[in-house]
Amino acid sequence: MSTTWFITGTSSGFGRLLTEELLARGDRVAATVRRPETLDDLRARYGDRLWPARLDVTDGEQVRRVVADAFKELGTIDVVVNNAGYGVFAAVEEATDEQIRRVIDTNLLGSIHVIRAALPHLRAQGHGRIVQVSTAGGQTTYPNFSYYHASKWGIEGFCETVAREIAPFGIGLTIVEPGATPTGFAGALDTAPVMPEYENTPAGEVRRAIASGDFPLPNDPHKITRAMIDLVDSGATPLRLPLGSDTYEDVRASLVARLAEHDAHRDTALGVVNGDPR
């Protein structure tokens, strides 16, 4: 039996690759995008198995309307994939207020809008999966991505809470964390005028590495989308799925360092408790 998916941000990157592969294997896809004409070739090839819709995830009312229409038209949606994203590449002082608002509105609030809009329908049908596309940067950090990290760390905390709340309804939620991958994301990053004060800092080093093409992109985008699909097909519902050598190594190193720092403050932490349990 085919599976029905609702995917945001399907014009390029992982969203487009997922849509292509799912349609090719016979699934149905509600594909949302800011410009639906970018899906005309898939619509011509796959007909009614593709349900395209215009959607700006930063518009909460539009999200509720499009999600409701998708469930009404398709009857059942088995998997909701929050993939739409926006990236700002700038040192902390360089980004504009507008850029900061857009990254939070898209990656954090936009994903929250989609999950909140889908949950009443998923509960009513008694089953479903939510796949939240995050990044290695939802668990670790890199210079020049502070606002992107703010949005991704935020949505991961939100999703970790939601996963526990919705499990009794038969709804699973998994955060997938792709690493650096040649999907065109780096070329689409929004930037800001460079401040010379940051030239000889880690922010400047990363900026030069990306500009020169020396920043590594070790992962295969097709293998990543295949891993997402395989996860859903398996029925497994891990809270997080790291995807990529850099995700695995960088996140692991970050977690180990955080745990070491956490443990280093054990006596101080326990020392403020009534009765001092040390």
How far apart CA 99 and CA 190 sit, in angstroms, is: 8
How far apart CA 229 and CA 223 sit, in angstroms, is: 10
Looking at the annotation, which residues are catalytic? 134, 148, 152
How far apart CA 128 and CA 118 sit, in angstroms, is: 10
Nearest Cα to 81, choosing from 15, 2, 172, 158?
A: 15
- Amino acid identity of residue 25, one-letter, is R
Q: Report residue 275 as tokens.
A: 């009765």
Please give the backbone phi and psi of residue 231, each rounded to the nearest 5 degrees, phi first: -60, -50
Nearest Cα to 123, choosing from 159, 155, 80, 74?
A: 80
Q: Report residue 206 as tokens.
A: 């990363």
Nearest Cα to 113, choosing from 128, 126, 130, 125?
A: 130
The torsion region of residue 263 among left (phi > 0), alpha (psi -120 to 50) and beta comes to alpha
Rounded alpha-carbon distances, angstroms, from residue 261 to 137, 271, 273: 20, 16, 20
